[in-house]
């Protein structure tokens, strides 16, 4: 679990990767520097500088809530490569983490501590005043709110899988991935079990730098949390006690659990919201099987369109890889990548050189033709299994295709009669199923991260899921030609329920000729938020409501002879917290009620999906 949380930097070194001895030959190592913040708290920082630098150098800066006491793996390689190429490289712990002083706050106080760190770095006698930030997951998320501060030293950034730093962007109100469609994503409850440490050992503030350097060799302050069976733990009720009953330390979990998706409190703290400016050129690295690919793509487009500085607008670049969260440097070289059970082909890419080309351009002013040789968007199309490029997201030539859900009245399960067609159907008007929150549809695959093994991420054969009667299955005829979905997929559902509130899930699936059904992406929506996330309105029994879940996102080629499939249900647990259907808070309840949920697909209520499709050439 801790290796997953440490994201891309904790991977095993290859035989030809550098060692600490190699780094010592080329670097001046200034470790356990206690950097002062405006309120007097000090943050533990390691700084590595090239020994043979001719003049002042730019800095690459990584800030993290995770343990960096032992420099190894991809993190060591990144430090070594940076120093070898003439950069200083700094790693800093967020306040309240490990040797850093103060009380921890989610995302590490980017508007104050982040800003103060840049000021401190720019004032050092070895610095040329240019700082680039880098990192994946937590080390990326804090960069977004920092970019809104427009610090003069913050010349560029490389945020990877940064969605948990986004509060609100366009139609996405995920509040740092705490929610999706108004439904709690359980990954944060499990993640906080490992990270929040309200009570922790600390050393006296008056010890010397040399003493701290000695102490870190003996005490890495990395908590050894008891292992938890999260598949079992997430079934317990009430949900608000998940972390406490697992033996977790005190922290923000319970307060966050009670905070609704439209709560103004999300405006405070470290999240970036789209009513702020964005002042930094960025190279975004995203993945298709992440918890937040939708908000990530939306933020890239938002900055390109809305940043006040034209230079910032023009200098936004993006990669989208076919991996799990932060899987960039774990992609095998020159061999097929398996994501879950799906073979997506050889997705090899030299991310390292691309990152340093970007930093050479933005921090050193190198004349390396970066702009001319680098497309604004590079994305991997699964199914076709190759990298493609575009000047925008989605590519300018995509067209919209509508597919309608229909049935002869029994779309329940893989063995039902649900259909998916470009023509609106003339079958039965609706399909119904019973959703029992005590027997929810299990999650299998998708954009998953950091949930302690409770759910598997990636793409898996969904037929066992589709065999359930509480899953409506709508399949197209075998496709006559390849269909490449590259962009967003917008579901529109017309629904009713006999419960006060319930959830609806939508999943896009690729069905192979042999029947294997691989998930492409999915979304979920809580019905009470159909008129906005700032208000909860319960359902009236039998009344039909139009729901617009947030869109799915992908680049995926459905091959000729395959079928396109859509699943509709009311749960995907434990990836998403189950709705107990009572109309209550859910998080503090211990009992649920069953709901009879109905999906309509008549001429008056045409449930459908709209896909962005790239024409075949």
- For residue 382, what is the DSSP state? B
Q: With contact defined as beta carbons under 8 Å apart, do 359 and 58 qualify?
A: yes
Q: Give the C-alpha separation, 230 to 239, whole Å.
A: 12
Q: Give the C-alpha separation, 44 to 93, whole Å.
A: 6
* Topology of the domain covering 399-614: Jelly Rolls (2.60.120)
* Predicted confidence (pLDDT) per residue in 121-142, tens digit: 999 999 999 999 999 999 999 9
Enumerate the H helices of 307-350 as residue ranges: 310-314
CB atoms within 10 A of CB 574: 24
* Predicted confidence (pLDDT) per residue in 231-285, tens digit: 999 999 999 999 999 999 888 999 999 999 999 999 999 999 999 999 999 999 9
Long-range contacts formed by 387-392: CB under 8 A, 24+ apart: 387/347, 387/349, 388/486, 388/555, 392/301, 392/304
Let me know if 514 is exposed, middle or buried by CB neighbors in 10 A (0-12, 13-18, 19+).
Answer: exposed
CA 36 to chain centroid: 31
* Predicted confidence (pLDDT) per residue in 37-60, tens digit: 999 999 999 999 999 999 999 999
CB atoms within 10 A of CB 475: 22
- pLDDT at position 617, please? 75
Q: Give the C-alpha separation, 187 to 82, whole Å.
A: 33
Bridge partners (DSSP) listed for residue 458: 446
pLDDT range class, residue 343, cuts 50, 70, 90: very high
Give me the chain's average pLDDT, please. 95
For 111-173, strand residue ranges (E) read: 127-136, 154-160, 166-168
- For residue 193, what is the DSSP state? H
- pLDDT at position 597, please? 98
* Predicted confidence (pLDDT) per residue in 52-103, tens digit: 999 999 999 999 999 998 899 989 999 999 999 999 999 999 999 999 999 9
If you average pLDDT over residues 428-439, what whole number do you get? 97
Q: Give the C-alpha separation, 225 to 248, whole Å.
A: 8
Enumerate the H helices of 453-600 as residue ranges: 463-466
* 111 token code pair: 């508007």
Q: Give the C-alpha separation, 407 to 473, whole Å.
A: 9
Q: Which of 440, 468, 464, 466 is nearest to 454 (CA)?
A: 440
Pairing of strands 377-381, 316-324: parallel
pLDDT range class, residue 200, cuts 50, 70, 90: confident
pTM: 0.95
- pLDDT at position 324, please? 96
For residue 542, what are the CA distances in angstroms to 173, 434, 494, 538, 605? 28, 14, 12, 12, 14
- For residue 455, what is the DSSP state? S
452 φ, ψ (degrees, to nearest 5): 65, 25
- For residue 31, what is the DSSP state? E
Q: Kindly report the CA angle at 567 between 173 and 483, in degrees rounded to 5? A: 90
- pLDDT at position 13, please? 40
Q: Give the C-alpha separation, 580 to 31, whole Å.
A: 51
140 φ, ψ (degrees, to nearest 5): -100, -35
Q: Which residues contact 388 (CB under 8 A, 6 or more apart)?
A: 378, 379, 380, 381, 486, 555
If you average pLDDT over residues 161-175, what whole number do you get? 95
CATH 3.90.190.20, applies to 2-178+261-390: no
CB atoms within 10 A of CB 44: 24
* Predicted confidence (pLDDT) per residue in 146-156, tens digit: 999 999 999 99
For residue 389, what are the CA distances in angstroms to 143, 372, 394, 395, 472? 26, 13, 10, 8, 36
For residue 521, what are the CA distances in angstroms to 19, 381, 431, 460, 537? 40, 14, 22, 11, 28
For 481-551, strand residue ranges (E) read: 483-497, 503-511, 517-526, 545-547
Q: Give the C-alpha separation, 494 to 506, whole Å.
A: 12
Q: Kindly report the CA angle at 555 between 553 and 556, in degrees rounded to 5? A: 115
- pLDDT at position 250, please? 83
- pLDDT at position 413, please? 98
Domain ranges of the chain: 2-178+261-390, 399-614
- pLDDT at position 270, please? 95
Q: Give the C-alpha separation, 28 to 593, whole Å.
A: 63
Enumerate the H helices of 307-452 as residue ranges: 310-314, 351-363, 370-373
Of 193-202, 261-270, 433-442, the one with minimum mean pLDDT is 193-202
Q: Which of 259, 277, 280 is nearest to 268 (CA)?
A: 259
* 176 token code pair: 């740092």
pLDDT range class, residue 5, cuts 50, 70, 90: very low
Residue with more model confidence, 9 or 394: 394
Is 328 strand, coil or helix? helix
Q: What percent of the chain has pLDDT over 70?
A: 98
Q: Give the C-alpha separation, 198 to 535, whole Å.
A: 32
Cis check for the bond before 238: say yes or no (omega within 30 of 0): yes
Q: Which of 51, 332, 29 is nearest to 209 (CA)?
A: 29
* 617 token code pair: 């050439």
Q: Give the C-alpha separation, 203 to 195, whole Å.
A: 19
* Predicted confidence (pLDDT) per residue in 287-304, tens digit: 999 999 999 999 999 999
pLDDT above 90 (res 357): yes
- pLDDT at position 199, please? 82
Q: Which residues contact 282 (CB under 8 A, 6 or more apart)?
A: 147, 156, 157, 158, 159, 303, 315, 316, 317
pLDDT above 50 (res 8): no
Of 194-198, 401-405, 503-507, 537-541, the one with minimum mean pLDDT is 194-198
């Amino acid at each position: 679990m801790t290796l997953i949380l440490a994201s891309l930097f904790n991977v095993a070194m290859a035989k030809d990767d550098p060692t600490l001895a190699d780094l010592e030959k080329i670097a001046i190592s200034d470790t356990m520097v206690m950097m002062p913040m405006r309120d007097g708290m000090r943050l533990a920082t390691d700084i590595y500088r090239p020994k043979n630098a001719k003049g002042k150098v730019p800095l690459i800066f990584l800030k993290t809530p995770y343990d960096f006491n032992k420099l190894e793996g991809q993190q060591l390689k990144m430090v070594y490569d940076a120093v070898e190429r003439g950069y200083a490289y700094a790693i800093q712990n967020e306040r309240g983490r490990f040797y850093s002083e103060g009380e921890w706050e989610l995302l590490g106080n980017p508007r104050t501590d982040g800003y103060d760190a840049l000021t401190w770095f720019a004032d050092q006698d070895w610095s040329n005043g240019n700082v680039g930030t880098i990192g994946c997951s937590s080390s990326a998320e804090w960069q977004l709110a920092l970019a809104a501060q427009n610090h003069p030293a913050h010349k560029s950034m490389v945020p990877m899988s940064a969605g948990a730093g986004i509060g609100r962007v366009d139609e996405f109100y995920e509040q740092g991935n705490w929610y999706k469609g108004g439904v709690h994503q359980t990954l944060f409850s499990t993640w906080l079990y490992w990270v929040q440490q309200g009570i922790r050992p600390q050393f006296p503030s008056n010890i010397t730098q040399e003493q701290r350097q000695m102490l870190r060799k003996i005490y890495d302050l990395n908590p050894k949390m008891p292992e938890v069976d999260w598949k079992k733990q997430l079934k317990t009720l009430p949900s608000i006690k998940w972390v406490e009953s697992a033996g977790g330390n005190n922290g923000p979990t319970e307060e966050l659990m009670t905070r609704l998706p439209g709560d103004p409190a999300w405006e405070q703290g470290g999240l970036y919201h789209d009513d702020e400016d964005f002042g930094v050129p960025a190279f975004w690295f995203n993945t298709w099987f992440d918890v937040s690919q939708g908000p990530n793509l939306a933020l890239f487009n938002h900055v390109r369109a809305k940043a006040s500085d034209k230079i910032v607008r023009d200098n936004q670049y993006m990669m989208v890889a076919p991996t799990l969260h932060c899987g960039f440097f774990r992609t095998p070289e020159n061999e097929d990548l398996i994501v879950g059970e799906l073979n997506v082909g050889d997705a090899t890419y030299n991310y390292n050189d691309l990152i340093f080309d970007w930093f050479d351009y933005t921090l050193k002013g190198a004349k390396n033709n970066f702009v001319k040789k680098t497309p604004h968007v590079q994305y991997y199309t699964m199914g076709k299994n190759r990298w493609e490029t575009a000047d925008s997201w989605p590519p300018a030539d995509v067209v919209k295709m509508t597919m309608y859900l229909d049935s002869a009245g029994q779309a329940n399960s893989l063995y039902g009669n649900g259909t998916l067609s470009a023509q609106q159907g003339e079958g039965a008007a609706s399909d119904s199923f019973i959703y029992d929150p005590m027997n929810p549809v299990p999650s299998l695959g998708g954009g998953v991260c950091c949930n302690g093994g409770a759910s598997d991420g990636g793409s898996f054969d969904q037929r066992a899921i589709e065999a359930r009667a509480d899953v409506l299955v709508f399949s197209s005829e075998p496709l006559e030609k390849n269909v490449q979905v590259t962009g967003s997929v917008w579901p529109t559902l017309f629904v009713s329920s006999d419960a006060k509130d319930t959830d609806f899930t939508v999943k896009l699936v690729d069905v192979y000729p042999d029947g294997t059904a691989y998930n492409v992406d999915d979304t979920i929506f809580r019905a009470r938020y159909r008129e906005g996330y700032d208000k909860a309105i319960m359902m009236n029994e039998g009344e039909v409501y139009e729901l617009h879940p947030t869109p799915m996102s992908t680049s995926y080629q459905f091959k000729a002879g395959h079928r396109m499939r859509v699943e509709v249900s009311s749960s995907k647990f434990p990836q998403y917290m189950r709705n107990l259907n009572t109309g209550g808070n859910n998080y503090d309840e211990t009992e649920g009620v069953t709901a009879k949920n109905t999906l309509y697909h008549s001429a008056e209520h045409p449930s459908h999906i709209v896909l962005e499709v790239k024409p075949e050439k």
